[in-house]
Amino acid sequence: MGNLKIGIPQALLYYEYFPLWKNFLESLGAEVIISGPTTKEILDLGVKSAISEICFPVKVFYGHVMSLKDRVDYLFIPRMVCVEKGAYFCPKFLGLPDMVKSSLSSLPPLIEPTIDIRKSATSFKNSFLAVGKLISNNSKKIYQSFYEAQKSFHLYLQSKENELNPEIININQQYSTKLLQNNMKNPLNIALLGHSYLVYDAFINLNLISKLKKTKINVLTAEMVRKQDIERKLKRLHKPIFWTLSKKIVGSAFYFLEKRIDGIIHLTSFECGEDSMIGELIRQESLKYPTVAYTEFVFDEHTGEAGIDTRTEAFLDMIIRRKRYESNHT
């Protein structure tokens, strides 16, 4: 056993959990192969394989699976249900392994642990241990690998640094709270909020982060906000949000609104029910903070770069004009 090639599509929850998955699988001797950044070819593969009604990020995920499937012994596609009390993942994540198997052909076997802490307190651990048995028959080593991967993942989340994962280190350099505090002192701070697979996939969002950075804008993201701050901001809602990923987006939007940063761009995907609902929540809240500009960019496979560039320029222009006006009238 050992040296199994396990493929992880670089899409969807890759942007949330890759450090944990990679660390666990590699410490057991597996070779982790990722599909790499999204490209036009990957997108075309996904669009061809998926039904048109499905959300854009899932189409992109299908493309990553197709580009990876012939290079690996297994595909790692967990069924993510629940990782915290009272909140869940979007139904697409609950059915992701089944959707992939029924829509795509000639796939290698899937490793599809169900992550659902409602079943029992130990279910998270047990799912990983079951995966470990596919790679190694050394139970002690599997336990050890799980605890070490979990510990370093927590450290990663806390410190927002990840030396173990050079593939995403560039996007994560901005995750430090210290950096956030420094950013707040600079003149133009724009938060890019949305599901991590939209915010950090440069192909999907048409390079928005680097374009903003080129114009010397401080790009702020939800990952810069501490979990306890997010939870505190969410308390003001009359009804709790029961989607794990959306909680982070809404809580951080409220946080940035209160900090009165210059603007918030909410990145959403076409055909996403969660996005349309939380978009409205954020928009309503933003009305209480007239100095914080707010806009929403919707992405799908037809979104054109020129359209996004024009909207970004207009949004930034509006902020700069307002700032000039304020400085001339105070």
Residues 6+ apart with CB under 8 A from 181: none
Cβ atoms of 124 and 85 within 8 Å: the answer is no
195 scored as a contact of ligand SF4 (CB under 6 A): yes
Residues in the chain: 330
244 scored as a contact of ligand SF4 (CB under 6 A): no
Give the binding range for ligand SF4 (CB under 6 A) out of 14-22, 133-141, 269-277, 310-318. 269-277
Give exposure, 209-235, as e/b (b: 16+ Cβ within 10 Å). bebbeeeebbbbbbbbbeeebbeebbe
204 scored as a contact of ligand SF4 (CB under 6 A): no
Residue 242's CB is within 10 A of a number of other CB atoms, namely 11
Mask: binding to ligand SF4, 53-72, rule CB under 6 A, as x and -? --x-xx--------------
In terms of CB distance, is 167 or 275 closer to ligand SF4? 275
Residues 275, 285, 292, 299: which binds ligand SF4 (CB under 6 A)? Answer: 275
241 scored as a contact of ligand SF4 (CB under 6 A): no
13 scored as a contact of ligand SF4 (CB under 6 A): no
For residue 297, list its beta bridge partners.
267
In terms of CB distance, is 23 or 246 closer to ligand SF4? 246
16 scored as a contact of ligand SF4 (CB under 6 A): no
* Alpha carbon distance 199, 90 (integer Å): 17
Q: What is the 3-state secondary structure (H, E, C) of 294-324?
A: EEEEEECCCCCHHHHHHHHHHHHHHHHHHHH
In terms of CB distance, is 64 or 195 closer to ligand SF4? 195
Work out whether strand 293-299 and strand 263-269 pair parallel, antiparallel, or are unpaired. parallel
CB of 59 to ligand SF4, least distance (A): 9
Query: The tokens of 135 are what?
Result: 């790679």
In terms of CB distance, is 7 or 194 closer to ligand SF4? 194
Q: What is the DSSP letter of 243?
A: B
272 scored as a contact of ligand SF4 (CB under 6 A): yes
201 scored as a contact of ligand SF4 (CB under 6 A): no
In terms of CB distance, is 55 or 191 closer to ligand SF4? 55
* Alpha carbon distance 67, 36 (integer Å): 9
92 scored as a contact of ligand SF4 (CB under 6 A): yes
Residues 90, 149, 282, 308: which binds ligand SF4 (CB under 6 A)? Answer: 90
Element of type H or E holding 189: strand 189-194
Query: The tokens of 164 are what?
Result: 């173990």
Chain contacts with ligand SF4 (rule: CB under 6 A): 55, 57-58, 90, 92, 195, 269, 272, 274-275
